[in-house]
Amino acid sequence: MNTGPARGMRDFLPEDVRRRQYVIGVIADVYERYGFEPLETPAVENIETLLGKYGEEGDRLIFKILKRGEGAEPGQADLALRYDLTVPLARVVAEYRAKLPKFFRRYQVQPVWRADRPQKGRFREFYQCDVDAIGSGSMVVEAELLQAAGDVLARLGFTAYTLRLNHRGVLAGLLDAGGVPEALHNDALVALDKLDKLGADGVATELDARGVPQAGARRLLEFFGAVASAAARPGGDAASVNDEVLARLQALLADGRAEALAELRRVVELVGATPAGRHLRVDPSLARGLSYYTGSIFEIAVPGLAGSLGGGGRYDNLIGMFLGEPVPACGISLGLERMLVVMGERQMFPAGLEARAADVMVTIWNLDTVPDALQLAAELRSNGLRVEVYPEADKIGKQFKYAASRRVPFVTVVGDEEAAQDLVTVKSLTSGEQQRVPRRDAGATIRAALTEE
Amino acid sequence: MNTGPARGMRDFLPEDVRRRQYVIGVIADVYERYGFEPLETPAVENIETLLGKYGEEGDRLIFKILKRGEGAEPGQADLALRYDLTVPLARVVAEYRAKLPKFFRRYQVQPVWRADRPQKGRFREFYQCDVDAIGSGSMVVEAELLQAAGDVLARLGFTAYTLRLNHRGVLAGLLDAGGVPEALHNDALVALDKLDKLGADGVATELDARGVPQAGARRLLEFFGAVASAAARPGGDAASVNDEVLARLQALLADGRAEALAELRRVVELVGATPAGRHLRVDPSLARGLSYYTGSIFEIAVPGLAGSLGGGGRYDNLIGMFLGEPVPACGISLGLERMLVVMGERQMFPAGLEARAADVMVTIWNLDTVPDALQLAAELRSNGLRVEVYPEADKIGKQFKYAASRRVPFVTVVGDEEAAQDLVTVKSLTSGEQQRVPRRDAGATIRAALTEE
């Protein structure tokens, strides 16, 4: 019998869960500090809620659930597994609009499912960490989202990270300036999105294949190259580089793009006033894959990692698909799975997270003293300790070995002598030292020793 | 467009999530203190892993996922949604046996899905909180599981709860003693399981309908009645009542059931040595519905609630279905959803849990001062405060109203005067009082005021 998890899915053993909980805990804590509130939606949605929201490719990758009961036609699906956290958010905003605050700021950390071909680092069940602010078109939203994402990264130990920022309106203006016909804008964005991966030559080929005039493509790529050089110039601080890039954009864009450029400039100004400012980089070549973005777009990069640790942007029309009226919205999704991989490779998890089942294991002296062992365990727990009781009256050496294999740092022994004098022997499995202490002091002794460690 | 969640599923808005997280947090904390470790398994399992494990009724209620891709026949399902947390645990133990400790003690808090007809309090997506100890047949396991469940209830504020305890072997002995043929034991258990709901007369009718000889059924029900009377006698403490019940069982059971009775007695002895002892009640009529139990069974009751807050037992053969060899196992599942309902009705949630988006809202004086407002918010956050920034330059009164509607207790204002003198006005929205403080003291001022509240 196959006892593995389903293809592309993972079991998380205790050590895995602890690492995941640590990262999710930091994310939640940071977002709570920004006044974002937790939301959870069901894993299963009505199939119509999801179909048609993610493009043709997306529709194919949705896990569909067989309809049950008498009215069901064979093979008919009425439900589907959550594919992302944005569409459920849009549905929730439409459903509970009257109950929700005008500016609804929520974070959501839940799994999503995609019937993608599994490969290294790509799973069919994976967590998304989304944070979105609904109801305001102000660039304060963008600034706070970028700041908060920066705080998350800093708290997790990513000291050098870049918050890449662009604006879909600015990008459209650049395509105009490059002579790309509007009908080809979407194709051009899809090609540009691969700049990191394919380089300028590769993107030039892609643009050509999609019918973008070569002269225009060349001008665009030259512009991006010049901007990248400016950003890479040694000694330039974030603010002066961003100012230079904004000035170049100003020179290139038509007047019709003034509002988009002003929004971009405003985000730079607002984030510049905060500690995240020095990580911000205006990157006019940033395209983002999804078609629903309407304004700012962002992506988070860390040195030495191809691809991003997260990204997002403004999508003022998506909620309207559910609500019938447009509602301004902007969000960032952090790539939890990728963060976990990078943090594992770079040994960024705090030392205390390593699997340690308990602080102390209570050994069993013999069958008669088991009730007393359980009583001792209860006493130690009331000292705030995590206490495991060895369940059987095995030889004491075997019990010590078991505790050591579980990396439990202390064991207690109450043998006949200790019992007669109301004492407990506390043994450190790391140093091998042991001491007899009055039973009522056993908890405090272990607590003190744990703090010293 | 339908914007509600799918039938029988629920959206959890922030206040709901906070209540759920509170209860789950207490459960996890208690189990960690007992040395249990967290496990998570995928929502989706191979369909063969689940089919045939839950009986015919269970198979019908499993949500099945359509097979994708070219080889799939129309309507074919290859995957299914997790139906409980026990079967995935059994699979995990079989898969990772060599990696896991000999005594694997895990807790798991995750949703499961059942295509049941939704009704009040019954959902198609609901959380289970399972805690199981694998690898030991010692009654220390039972004792610790009951203790831990008691600790959870006590921490959540359930002062009067009962840990009902029985043993499948004892129950079988009672059925023997009542003259129920072994072939009818399972039928009799199903009928007995309804004793709470139907009363003695109802169960007698059920037993009769299932072919259990009437004289035997009467003797059984009389015995249960006598035990219930003993338990209800005023002034009897848990220990003496349990001793009396054990003595009655001893008198009634054949010698072949001595081991089962000894196990029951041992659990009473072990739990009796701990604070949970006074909540324990041996209840020979407790049957539990599931067929896989092999030894101890338990159920948690609280006064004024029909049905239970959780239950479980020993199931020494289930893991063998995956591993090929029997592994002793015992567990309790807490009914999270029911706990939440009862705690809501009885107002048992701590006051601090009520929706409060942030500790303080930073208002926006005018568009020019937005960068400074973001800077102030960052300063307050570095004081550990949860800070929301009003995103737009609306009239200040409108901003105050918004903060009040969000139950944010404090707002800050930095107008032209304050800015000129490096001051911040801190206003309490509960008392209406306001004070101007030096900007560097604003965070400490709010923190102190929050502690006073």
pLDDT surpasses 90 at A331: yes
A271's CB contacts (< 8 A; 6+ apart) are A142, A143, A146, A147, A163, A277, A280
Which residues in chain B (10-29) have CB-CB distances under 8 A to chain A? Answer: 10-14, 16-18, 20-21
Same fold, B14-345 and B357-452: no
Q: What is the pLDDT of residues A239-287, one digit of tens each?
A: 999 999 999 999 999 999 999 999 999 999 999 988 899 999 999 999 8
**Which residue pairs from A442-449 have beta carbons closer than 8 angstroms and sit at least 24 positions apart in sequence?**
A442/A376, A442/A379, A442/A380, A442/A412, A443/A379, A443/A380, A443/A382, A443/A383, A443/A384, A443/A385, A444/A383, A446/A359, A446/A360, A446/A380, A446/A383, A446/A385, A446/A410, A447/A383, A447/A384, A447/A385, A449/A409, A449/A410
Mutate to test the interface with B, among A7, A10, A13, A152 (most CBs of B within 10 A): A13
For B273, the closest of A6, A115, A372 (CB atoms) is A372
d(CA B425, CA B361): 12
d(CA A239, CA A224): 18
B184 to chain A, minimum CA–CA distance in Å?
32
Band (pLDDT 50/70/90 cuts) for residue A291 is: confident
- pLDDT at position A234 is 79
**B102 Cβ under 8 Å from any chain A Cβ:** yes
- pLDDT at position A315 is 93
**A1 Cβ under 8 Å from any chain B Cβ:** yes
Residue numbers in A near B76 (CB within 8 A): 75
- pLDDT at position B355 is 66
Q: Percent of chain B at pLDDT above 70?
A: 100
Whether complex ipTM tops 0.90:
yes
Residue in chain B nearest A95 by alpha carbon: B3
Q: What is the pLDDT of residues B329-359, one digit of tens each?
A: 999 999 999 999 999 999 999 987 876 789 9
pLDDT surpasses 90 at A217: no
**A354 Cβ under 8 Å from any chain B Cβ:** no
Q: What is the pLDDT of residues A56-89, one digit of tens each?
A: 888 999 999 999 877 778 788 999 999 999 999 9
Mutate to test the interface with A, among B374, B400, B402, B446 (most CBs of A within 10 A): B374
d(CA B155, CA B343): 12
Q: At what angle do helices B258-272 and B139-156 cross, to 10 degrees?
A: 40
Residue numbers in A near B354 (CB within 8 A): none
Q: How many CB atoms lie within 10 A of CB B252?
A: 18
Among A251-255, A419-423, B235-239, the minimum mean pLDDT is found in B235-239
Among A2-16, A289-303, A362-376, B82-96, the minimum mean pLDDT is found in A289-303
Q: Give the count of alpha carbons within 13 A of A305, CB side only.
A: 22
Superfamily of structural domain B357-452: Anticodon-binding domain (3.40.50.800)
- pLDDT at position B146 is 97
pLDDT surpasses 90 at B105: yes
Which residues in chain A (433-452) have CB-CB distances under 8 A to chain B? Answer: none
Residue numbers in B near A113 (CB within 8 A): 43-44
Which of A132, A90, A110, A142 is CA-nearest to residue A40? A110
Amino acid at B346: R
Which of B112, B151, B115 is CA-nearest to residue B129? B112
Q: Across the strands, what pairs with B37? A: B106
Distances from the Cα of A327 to the Cαs of A9, A93, A94, A292, B211, in angstroms?
A: 36, 9, 10, 13, 66
What residues does each domain of chain B span? 14-345, 357-452
Q: How far is C-alpha B15 from the geometric centre of its chain's CA atoms?
A: 18
Q: What is the pLDDT of residues A43-55, one digit of tens each?
A: 999 999 999 888 8
Which residues in chain B (69-98) have CB-CB distances under 8 A to chain A? Answer: 74-77, 79, 81, 91-92, 94-96
- pLDDT at position A7 is 96
pLDDT surpasses 80 at A391: yes
pLDDT surpasses 80 at B407: yes
Which residues in chain A (260-299) have CB-CB distances under 8 A to chain B? Answer: 269-270, 272-275
Highest mean pLDDT among A41-45, A182-186, A195-199, A448-452: A41-45
For B74, the closest of A18, A39, A75 (CB atoms) is A75
Q: How far is C-alpha A157 from the geometric centre of its chain's CA atoms?
A: 14
Q: Which two tokens stand for residue A248?
A: 């170049």
Give me the architecture of the A14-345 domain, per CATH: 2-Layer Sandwich (3.30)
pLDDT surpasses 90 at B71: no
Which residues in chain A (175-234) have CB-CB distances under 8 A to chain B? Answer: none
Give me the architecture of the A358-452 domain, per CATH: 3-Layer(aba) Sandwich (3.40)
Q: Which two tokens stand for residue A383?
A: 């000292």
The structure tokens 């078991």 sit at: A402
Among A26-35, A288-297, B14-23, the minimum mean pLDDT is found in A288-297
pLDDT surpasses 80 at B87: yes
Total beta-carbon pairs less than 8 A apart between chain A and chain B? 284
B261 to chain A, minimum CA–CA distance in Å?
17
Which of B409, B414, B410 is CA-nearest to residue B425? B414
pTM: 0.94
pLDDT surpasses 80 at B401: yes
d(CA A203, CA A215): 14
CB B311 within 8 A of CB B327: no
Residue numbers in A near B33 (CB within 8 A): 381, 385-387
The structure tokens 């490969």 sit at: A119
Q: Do B402 and A32 touch (CB under 8 A)?
A: no
Mutate to test the interface with A, among B7, B388, B402 (most CBs of A within 10 A): B388
- pLDDT at position A332 is 97
Q: Do A34 and B386 touch (CB under 8 A)?
A: yes
**A3 Cβ under 8 Å from any chain B Cβ:** yes
Q: Which two tokens stand for residue B224?
A: 């249960």
Amino acid at B367: L
